[in-house]
Amino acid sequence: MYALVGILFLGLAFLWNRISENPYTPAREQKEESFLGPAQEPPGPRVGIFKLPEKLDFAGESVPLHQPDVYERLERELYVNAYWESNTVLMMKRAGRFFPEIEQMLQENGIPDDFKYVALIESGLMNVVSPAGARGFWQFMPSTAKEFGLEVSNEVDERYHWRKATVAACKYLRSAYGRFGSWTNVAASYNMGMAGLNRRINEQQVPNYYDLYLNEETSRYMFRVLAMKELFSHPSQYGFELQASDLYQLPRYREVVVTSSISNLASWAIQHGSNYKELKLHNAWLRSDKLSVGSGKTYTIELPL
């Protein structure tokens, strides 16, 4: 009798142990590892506070960070862009493709290197279109584009030709520097126009961008440029760890000089060992499915090798 009770007790104890180890026990009672690995302590705060630079300049011109409003405006743009990680990472990757040639063209045209960040905040280095109708990397309006040597028509829009648009932007920037004598003001005028900035300077009787009371977009403009310069100059300090292999690269091209009209660009591309998609991707300035070439006119079309 006592032996039977003992056996029954041991059986119940064994059964209880099996039930307590059941993998289907509710999650709050489990102590086993999930497929994600061992249970972890809740993470600490994801958002950190950055130490802003003590000194900063644009094109060699000092930024008055000792002014509280200047400091706060820079801080705003740094945090906005540092924590908009997806957008900033993609701009860093695109910069690997386009910055080397843009830097070279700026240097050749006597424009400070920091102006590459103007193109960056204007378009993200993409052929975007603004609500007002500005287009391309440098966001030219049609009249300004033509004034500085770009062709704009139904078939050809060189605002989308990033190399030619960069040269046109250099012409604008040199012209603006001749008026303002300050690269900071030149960059601000790129946003609101030379006439607009000059009018504000005369009205408020101060020549310095940082002392001017401007519209919301232009008052943020230089600080967006400065934030990009800081993030690109010291990426690891703000949590960006890109390697050279992570950056996009320009493909190798072959150039085809066109001296006569093309009635069908899709057929033409196939005849030249490419296709319509590649033609359009690498020659965004071609805005139609055909190309009319006037007497004495030539165009250079790039096709990837």
d(CA 123, CA 129) in angstroms, rounded, equals 9
Tell me which H or E stretch contains 203. Answer: helix 194-204
Tell me which H or E stretch contains 300. Answer: strand 299-304
d(CA 23, CA 26) in angstroms, rounded, equals 8
Rg, the chain, Cα only: 30
Strand partners, 300: 257
Which CATH number is correct for 57-246, 1.10.405, 3.20.20, 1.20.120, 1.10.530? 1.10.530
Which pLDDT does position 48 carry in this prediction? 82
Hey, is 2 helix, strand or coil? helix
Residue with tokens 């409003």: 69
Which pLDDT does position 88 carry in this prediction? 97
* Of the candidates 88, 82, 154, 74, the residue with the CA atom closest to the CA atom of residue 125: 88
Q: Which residues contact 151 (CB under 8 A, 6 or more apart)?
A: 157, 158
Break the chain into its structural domains and give their ranges: 57-246, 253-304
Query: In a structure prediction context, what are the per-residue pLDDT tens digits for the chain, which is 305 residues long?
Result: 545 445 445 555 554 455 454 444 444 444 444 344 455 555 555 778 889 899 999 999 999 999 999 999 999 999 999 999 999 999 999 999 999 999 999 999 999 999 999 999 999 999 999 999 999 999 999 999 999 999 999 999 999 999 999 999 999 999 999 999 999 999 999 999 999 999 999 999 999 999 999 999 999 999 999 999 999 999 999 999 999 999 999 999 999 999 999 999 999 999 999 999 999 999 999 999 999 999 999 999 999 98
Which pLDDT does position 46 carry in this prediction? 72
Query: Based on the number of CB atoms within 10 Å of its own CB, is 111 exposed (0-12), middle (13-18) or buried (19 or more)?
Result: buried
Terminal CA-CA length for the chain: 92
Hey, is 22 helix, strand or coil? coil
